[in-house]
Structure 1
Amino acid sequence: MSGRLIAIGDIHGCRVALEKLLEEIAPTADDIVVTLGDYVDRGPDSRGVIDVLVELGRRTRLVCLLGNHEEMMLAVIRDGEPHHSWLRYGGVETLDSYGFDGSLDFLPAEHEAFFDSLGDYFEHDGYFFTHAAYDPDEALDHQTSDMLRWYSLTEGLPAPHRSGKTAVVGHTANRDGEILDVGHLICIDTYCYGGGWLTAVDLGSREYWQVSEEGILRPNRTTS
């Protein structure tokens, strides 16, 4: 592969941070950029985040995964599921960003297409990517949605996956703003919306970039 393999952690409506992060990374058409889910909720501009990602997909090889927050949102607006849990965990901020006027038919067509395109996992070279976690004993195409999108690493770190590949995940917020790297698993949810950082990692060089919700860049470092 001539380009880089880059993963971006949970964005949660932090458009300013995402734009600054992409400015620093400067993705090219040869790069693969994998976003790990949770684009919406909690932060101030979920709609703006989706606009940025739609545009990014026109100029690089973008792979976007489905997070539990997208799952909650789509269950409400498409399947008529009760809205209480979604609103409690950040849905209000998402609705505000779309200028919610009482109708659940608020997604622009480009955004509908974006959410339709989201996958459960992605594999490339020696890595695989999911939103939350994985069952180490099951093939990726046999994983449950609970493991892929909802399992918290606070419940225990999974063992190395049977494939021997390194897992790259988000979902479990590292509130100290630091990446969790245990060798067979790297977690890059670093709590951007709550005062931490939005993190991206170049899996080839292990260089990573971090930007605050306000767009302040943290000095670049490498993972252990």
Structure 2
Amino acid sequence: MRTLAIGDIHGGLQALIQIVERAKITPEDQLIFVGDYVDGWSESAQVIQYLIELSKTNECIFIKGNHDVWCEQWLAFGDINDVWYQHGGKETIESYNSLSKDDKQKHLDFFEAMPLYHLDEKNRLFLHAGFTSMHGVEKEINKQTFYYDRTLWEMALTMDKRIDKDSLIYPNRLKHYSEIYIGHTPTLNFGKMEPMNAINVWNVDTGAAFTGPLSAMDIETKEVFQSDELPILYPNEMGRNKS
């Protein structure tokens, strides 16, 4: 059985379908998604429907991202966050126009069931963005940190790799877990279209919301599978590439 960590999808159903095909995903594979399933491209509701069906054949873990929180609030209460609306929410709302009330309720249930992080039997941590507590995720006070924080990734990027894990100056945050898998901060920001590694942190958000592909990584072998770049799959759309 493989375990694949899959990056931020942002409404790109066609990219998700390509990943399933190119990674040759079978029912024996465990799939861990690091959040942000919606907002950007035109098929957010369809992505959620596809994932619900996928979870019937595969063991899936769906981590909650910040865009998923916004969509959940809209489905539950009709709340339209202004920031959300301008950063993909408009397209997500439009994608739900053809769905029935029952389907919308099923999607709300899906969002509400999402964990904020997952820790596996090999002490590998999966979450959308990061955490700040030096004592680990269990001691994080502000739960929004799990889907907004960027300091974990920034810290890992700037660390001197010569610092030994037993050193007094090695960050306590990183000592708790053998590996940490995140999304949220596109690797495009650093000129990369593939997952990036810094210390024991792996960033699998390769910018599918913008001009990058969707990526999946086999967490044992580190083999990477990628879709086409999203503008190729949605040539008549802008995604989140708005001026």
Quick check: 1:177–1:197 contact (8 Å CA) kept in 2? yes
Matched residues in 2 for 1:13 and 1:87: separation? Answer: 14
1:203 to 210, 213, 219: 219
Report 1:46-61 matches (<5 A): 46-61=44-59
Quick check: 2:39–2:87 contact (8 Å CA) kept in 1? yes
Which residue identity lines up with residue 10 of structure 1 in the other structure? D
Counterpart for residue 134 of structure 2: 137
Counterpart for residue 87 of structure 1: 85
CA deviation vs aligned residue, 1:90-135 (integer Å, no higher than 9, x gap)? 100101111179xxx6852331221122110011114110000122
Quick check: 1:13–1:42 contact (8 Å CA) kept in 2? yes
1:173 to 165, 186, 190: 186
Counterpart for residue 205 of structure 2: 189
Quick check: 1:6–1:202 contact (8 Å CA) kept in 2? yes
Shift of the alpha carbon at 1:67?
0.3
Counterpart for residue 241 of structure 2: none
Shift of the alpha carbon at 1:69?
0.3
Q: Which is worse superposed, 112-121 or 90-99?
A: 112-121
Q: Which is worse superposed, 66-75 or 77-86?
A: 77-86
Write 1 or 2 for the structure with the bigger share of helix: 2
Shift of the alpha carbon at 1:77?
3.7
CA deviation vs aligned residue, 1:30-89 (integer Å, no higher than 9, x gap)? 322100110000112101111111111011100001000011222334246453121011
Report 1:2-17 matches (<5 A): 3-17=1-15
2:117 to 102, 116, 121: 121
**Distance change >3 Å, CA 161–CA 79, structure 1 → 2:** farther
Matched residues in 2 for 1:207 and 1:172: separation? Answer: 21
Quick check: 1:154–1:172 contact (8 Å CA) kept in 2? no
Q: CA RMSD in A?
A: 2.5
Quick check: 1:19–1:52 contact (8 Å CA) kept in 2? no
Shift of the alpha carbon at 1:14?
0.3
Write 1 or 2 for the structure with the bigger share of strand: 1
**Distance change >3 Å, CA 7–CA 53, structure 1 → 2:** same
Matched residues in 1 for 2:126 and 2:194: separation? Answer: 19
Report 1:18-57 matches (<5 A): 18-57=16-55
TM-score between the two structures when normalised by the length of structure 2 = 0.79
- SS in structure 1 of the partner of residue 187 of structure 2: coil
Counterpart for residue 221 of structure 1: none
Q: Which is worse superposed, 108-117 or 67-76?
A: 108-117
Which residue identity lines up with residue 46 of structure 2 in the other structure? G
Which residue identity lines up with residue 164 of structure 1 in the other structure? Y
Quick check: 2:153–2:201 contact (8 Å CA) kept in 1? no
**Distance change >3 Å, CA 5–CA 154, structure 1 → 2:** closer
Counterpart for residue 110 of structure 1: 106
- Note if 1:164 corresponds to 2:177: yes
Q: Which is worse superposed, 175-184 or 12-21?
A: 175-184
Structure 2: tracts of 5 or more residues without a match? 157-170, 234-243
